[in-house]
Structure 1
Amino acid sequence: MTAPAASAYRLTPNLFGIGFGVAGLAQAWTAAADSVHAPAWPSYVLWILAAAIWLFTLIAYARNVAAQGRLRAELPDPVLGPFTALIAIVPMLLGVALAPHARSAGEAVYAAGLVLTVLMGGWLTGVWIRADTKLPQWHPGYFLPTVAGGLIAANGSAALGWTTLAHVMFGYGLICWFVLGSILLVRLFTQPMLPPPLLPTIAIEVAPPVVAGNAWFAINSGRLDLGAEILGGYALLMVLVQLSMAGTYRRAPFGPGYWAFAFSYAAALTDGIHWLDAEHVDGRRALTYLLLALATLALAALAARTLLGLRRRTFLPRVPAPAAPAAAG
């Protein structure tokens, strides 16, 4: 019996950005439910959808990687390796969302995701130190394993009431942001522009200050203080940078990389919801619903474009065809 043919498509770890983005929108609806008593059911639906997408992606990705013999090459890959951290980061978000309904199960899911996130962050950092990676190969996806992982862990730990761990993980993510952020800005400022498929990763530049802002609000019980104001100032700069990049992003071919926008922008809008609540802004209920509408419609448009790409078989990268054997002389 012959073995089944390997898939003609290569499933890459940035596909986990789909579930990550849906979880980001779920966070925004959860924040709105807490601040202006928005309906809770949209967040429940989105959390369940995020979990289903993550699980489906994990199964399909693992089978594809195994079938194509890429098990040992995925994490060290200088371009796509950082995205493998989303395999562990998404369960942290899901665990926190589950905890109010099933505390022990939620804590277990969160703790498993946290441990795996820290281990992967440490391993990947070691790979980056040892590998002969050139600066032009770097891109903002390098924020994911330690910066996003650490700051999301800080937010989750604070939400679960684990204050000391929240402080530790906030420091973990913050220092990694300072270190990696310096390298990545030097790369973006001084090296040639990222290749078109990687242009959407520049959206991740807005994530550190807003994810840190959300974590800080969780740590300090939603108060507006000096820490929140400092993070808000840098977040404003990064939002303006995103607006200036609109023309550049249009040069990127549509593919899994576009899901880099989803969580980053959802986190920015969630931070805005926290700011409206902390400042007790007049009309904050209407403004919160406006932010939710923007986030929900944007993700719906991204999902629709993804489904269209899947139907046309243009969304997923294809495995390069093997070179034809040379003709005999």
Structure 2
Amino acid sequence: MRCQVAAVRIPPNFFGIPFGLAGLGNTWIVSGRNGTVPTWVGNGLLALAALTWLAVLVAYAAYTLPKPRALVGDMVDPIAGPFVSLAVITPTLLAAQGVVPYALGVGRVLVDVFLVLTVVYGGWITGQWIYGRIDIDQINPGYFLPTVAGGFIASIAASAVGQRTLADIMLGLGLICWLVLGSLILNRLFTRPTLPATLVPTLAIEVAPPALAGLALLARSGESIDVWVMLVFGYGLLLVLAQIRLLPLYLRLGFGPSFWSFTFAWSAVATSALHWISGTQPPGHRVYTFLVLAAISALIGGIAVRSVVAVTRGRFLPPPAPPAAP
């Protein structure tokens, strides 16, 4: 009689963990470059995000490579599919913020490679959404990830390596996809029943597109806060305030890996706020900077601690996949 050890299933939304850590690192990097805090804090967080991304990638590969149908199943799944994109979007941001300032040549190669992979996957999943059949109730703000977040982050990364034309192309990709998908997602949220509990945290992703659009515009214009930045930040302010009304939904949730949906979205908002504070320098701007850093660090740090506790108690990873029938 032979025993078969069931593989631990790693869902694609686990890539949201290094994505959130990369967002926090980027927030500290922005503040560090303004001279407010030491730059080593942001670099350390980016290094932690890179190690976490590698660990999740290895674990995901160990689960999917022996059975390619699992990978294909995730890619075509209307819920899991968008989160697969974070496997290539996260290293794009890490390369732009953590490698380019110290090794431009290596950083440019990494940015270009992962940017191409981001666009390829974004195109593929767009075709999948057209080809497949998606129930409108399955649509959620996670659909912003492959093309909207991917496009804006690719634009930021291209600006970081001095590829202005490519940055504009990626900005256009992100903007148009935001307009199309934003209308579709809000229509689903306005007119259909509330999202299932496991998807409720993805509502936090709604604040990410305007924040990322503003950051992409800032990267393109050399940190100049012009009218276009003000326009997208204005819409972003509306969505941030809308999150207050969603607090009753969030407070009823039990903790799980989906809580990492809060991390990158709010780190993008925090980074946008820091750019605004630095660009306008209102009275007490240093105090505001520290308050923003403290708030976003407490949020993501708290989620990280809860995740570690859940792992130690065996409540974080999904149950192992059942062994195949003989």
- The TM-score range, normalised by the shorter chain, is over 0.9
Partner of 1:104: 105
Q: Is the 8 A contact 1:198 1:252 kept in 2?
A: no
Q: Provide Cα deviations, 1:155-210, integer angstroms capped at 9, x if missing partner.
A: 11112221111111111000000000000000000111110001000000000000
Partner of 2:138: 137
Rounded Cα–Cα distance in structure 1 between residues aligned with 2:146 and 2:190:
22
Shift of 1:282: 2.0
Rounded Cα–Cα distance in structure 1 between residues aligned with 2:167 and 2:323:
49
Shift of 1:280: 2.1
Shift of 1:229: 0.8
> Any stretches of 5+ residues in structure 1 without a counterpart?
325-329
Are residues 1:198 and 2:199 paired?
Answer: yes
Rounded Cα–Cα distance in structure 1 between residues aligned with 2:259 and 2:87:
18
Shift of 1:71: 2.4
- Three-state SS of the structure 1 residue aligned to 2:76 is coil
Shift of 1:321: 5.5
Shift of 1:59: 0.4
Partner of 1:327: none
- Three-state SS of the structure 2 residue aligned to 1:154 is helix
Are residues 1:167 and 2:168 paired?
Answer: yes
> Any stretches of 5+ residues in structure 2 without a counterpart?
none
Q: Is the 8 A contact 1:255 1:316 kept in 2?
A: no
Rounded Cα–Cα distance in structure 1 between residues aligned with 2:215 and 2:282:
18
Q: Is the 8 A contact 1:6 1:67 kept in 2?
A: no
Shift of 1:67: 4.5
Q: Is the 8 A contact 1:94 1:109 kept in 2?
A: no
Alignment of 1:85-124 (within 5 A): 85-96=85-96, 97-124=98-125
Aligned letter for 1:219?
A: R
Rounded Cα–Cα distance in structure 1 between residues aligned with 2:42 and 2:2:
46
Rounded Cα–Cα distance in structure 2 between residues aligned with 1:323 and 1:16:
26
Q: Is the 8 A contact 2:154 2:167 kept in 1?
A: yes
- Three-state SS of the structure 1 residue aligned to 2:105 is helix
Aligned letter for 2:233?
A: G
Shift of 1:322: 8.1
Are residues 1:286 and 2:287 paired?
Answer: yes
Q: Which moved more, 1:315-324 or 1:192-201?
A: 315-324
Q: Is the 8 A contact 2:100 2:106 kept in 1?
A: yes
Partner of 2:84: 84
Partner of 2:264: 263
Rounded Cα–Cα distance in structure 1 between residues aligned with 2:242 and 2:176:
22
Rounded Cα–Cα distance in structure 2 between residues aligned with 1:312 and 1:169:
42
Alignment of 1:1-329 (within 5 A): 4-7=4-7, 9-67=8-66, 69-96=69-96, 97-319=98-320
Shift of 1:4: 4.6
Q: Is the 8 A contact 2:100 2:160 kept in 1?
A: no
Aligned letter for 2:62?
A: R
Q: Is the 8 A contact 2:6 2:320 kept in 1?
A: no
Rounded Cα–Cα distance in structure 1 between residues aligned with 2:272 and 2:142:
21
Aligned letter for 2:265?
A: S
- Three-state SS of the structure 2 residue aligned to 1:72 is helix
Report percent identity of matched pairs.
43
> What's the Cα RMSD here?
1.8
Rounded Cα–Cα distance in structure 1 between residues aligned with 2:209 and 2:257:
21
Rounded Cα–Cα distance in structure 1 between residues aligned with 2:32 and 2:321:
47
Aligned letter for 2:171?
A: F
Shift of 1:32: 0.4
- Three-state SS of the structure 2 residue aligned to 1:153 is helix
Q: Is the 8 A contact 1:95 1:108 kept in 2?
A: no
Q: Could you say if the C-alpha distance between residues 284 and 64 of structure 1 is closer, same or farther in structure 2, counting changes exceeding 3 Å? A: same
Q: Give me the TM-score of the superposition, normalised by structure 1.
A: 0.94
Shift of 1:57: 0.2
Aligned letter for 1:85?
A: S
Q: Provide Cα deviations, 1:21-47, integer angstroms capped at 9, x if missing partner.
A: 000001101110122442101011101
Q: Is the 8 A contact 1:154 1:165 kept in 2?
A: yes
Aligned letter for 1:39?
A: P
Shift of 1:249: 1.2
Aligned letter for 2:92?
A: M
Rounded Cα–Cα distance in structure 2 between residues aligned with 1:234 and 1:19:
27
Aligned letter for 2:45?
A: L
Rounded Cα–Cα distance in structure 2 between residues aligned with 1:122 and 1:77:
16
Q: Is the 8 A contact 2:74 2:81 kept in 1?
A: yes
Rounded Cα–Cα distance in structure 2 between residues aligned with 1:172 and 1:3:
50
Shift of 1:10: 2.2
Q: Give me the TM-score of the superposition, normalised by structure 2.
A: 0.95
Aligned letter for 2:70?
A: R
